[in-house]
Structure 1
């Protein structure tokens, strides 16, 4: 049924009130289609199974973690260059069998540091005949990952994004009522994407984000710059910065423990894990 549907459908692109000429879908799944995520997962599931069966990769409590996949974004984890090459061979073989080809220019290689130990040069790792470009940080699903496992870059990303949203709200909604401003602030300024993953960072970066959050509320509500942050949030019935961090970490821990995923279950039970230690300190240490 799906084969007939994809072979015979016609597509058009809408721009404002105009439509493009009809064209047929040559490859891939329909962008925005309700069935597209499920179809893509079915298509890629065999590759994930093949990678998992190799037994090559990083291990935590006997659980092999060699790939993390979300839609068409895939991360391969390996303790050595040789093992990584074998994982890439599996991916290339699967792609060749299914008429696909990886884009080496959009693929990157990162070597995580072990404390102060690092490797300035490593043997080349090839993908589709091209060496992968080695980087010190990259953005995965909107979250900045660094080779030193520090979160300063991602915290700075969130601070800049919050500053942009602050300017937008203050400019467009300055004449709105207090209740409307509070509602907008909660909707636009309290997301803190991936904040529950922040473990290793400098106090300067973290304090900068907290200050930006406090100042955003002051600017939006027209309050003095040096008024009490705890007082203004309590009066408006709005969560403070530290309250949001505690709520996000508690929510993430609950989802970890409730998830049937073996990788998440393993991480949730590692009491020596830095991320679990961070979540506990948020609630137990002032």
Structure 2
């Protein structure tokens, strides 16, 4: 579980509620697995953070934390999570290429779509550097080249077009469009608030990323 609070005092009150509930249910939180992270406001961060304690033990403060497979950082950047996905993609691609080297190209393309196009949580990325983006895109293209035994410097767009498979940008746009559709169609009050706030950095980035896809579909 995750507790989000605007201040240390608010977080302490939430921790007190959690401890009270756990005691009533005969449960106890694992202090060793409980950590605290302070998000920066732009480039600013408090110089002193009062200690947070759980069962009398001070909680360890971290600068990044993996939650449901997504890597969160204190500056809300996505470079670290994109690097996580790049490494995971490399492992999956090498496994498929090694185990199914003797299969036909049609089978390899099907396996690539099943194992290498997931790009977990890609639709949530909106604050990243060009370097992180390029590294992941190159890894995606190279994974397909290795699987189909294509030359290293062959055209990526032509390679995907001939195989009738979506390239990196197409996959990313489709995932983003799917997220936008689900957020806008949700009846959840928080999601509705996010969907209606079109001037927010997140919504602006998501809409901008899907423009090319929407124009093509039109």
TM class by smaller structure: over 0.9
Is 2:205 aligned against 1:205? no
SS at match of 2:66: strand
- Structure 2 Cα separation of the partners of residues 180 and 120 of structure 1: 56
Is 2:74 aligned against 1:142? no
- Structure 2 Cα separation of the partners of residues 133 and 101 of structure 1: 18
For residue 115 of structure 1, what is the aligned residue in structure 2?
A: 42
1:16-75 alpha-carbon deviations (Å, 9 max, x no partner): xxxxxxxxxxxxxxxxxxxxxxxxxxxxxxxxxxxxxxxxxxxxxxxxxxxxxxxxxx11
- Structure 2 Cα separation of the partners of residues 107 and 208 of structure 1: 32
- Structure 2 Cα separation of the partners of residues 192 and 283 of structure 1: 16
- Structure 2 Cα separation of the partners of residues 108 and 200 of structure 1: 24
SS at match of 1:253: helix
Is 2:84 aligned against 1:191? no
Deviation for aligned residue 1:285: 6.6
Deviation for aligned residue 1:283: 2.5
- Structure 1 Cα separation of the partners of residues 34 and 197 of structure 2: 31
Gaps of at least 5 residues in structure 2 are 214-218
- Structure 2 Cα separation of the partners of residues 201 and 282 of structure 1: 13
SS at match of 2:71: strand
Specify the structure having the higher radius of gyration (Cα). Answer: 1
1:126-178 alpha-carbon deviations (Å, 9 max, x no partner): 11221111110000000000001100110000000111111111111111001
Deviation for aligned residue 1:104: 1.3
For residue 36 of structure 1, what is the aligned residue in structure 2?
A: none
Structure-2-length-normalised TM-score: 0.95
Which is richer in strand?
Answer: 1
- Structure 1 Cα separation of the partners of residues 34 and 72 of structure 2: 14
Which is richer in helix?
Answer: 2
For residue 46 of structure 1, what is the aligned residue in structure 2?
A: none
Deviation for aligned residue 1:120: 3.1
For residue 19 of structure 1, what is the aligned residue in structure 2?
A: none
Superposition RMSD on alpha carbons, in Å?
Answer: 1.2
SS at match of 2:95: helix
SS at match of 1:75: coil
SS at match of 1:148: coil
For residue 253 of structure 1, what is the aligned residue in structure 2?
A: 180
Report how many aligned residue pairs link the two structures.
Answer: 213
Is the Cα contact below 8 Å between 2:92 and 2:116 reproduced in 1? yes
Gaps of at least 5 residues in structure 1 are 1-73
SS at match of 1:161: helix
Deviation for aligned residue 1:275: 1.7
Is 2:103 aligned against 1:158? no
- Structure 2 Cα separation of the partners of residues 193 and 185 of structure 1: 15
- Structure 2 Cα separation of the partners of residues 188 and 120 of structure 1: 44
1:95-134 alpha-carbon deviations (Å, 9 max, x no partner): 1111111111111111111112112321111112211111
Which of these residues, 152, 171, 174, is aligned with residue 101 of structure 2? 174
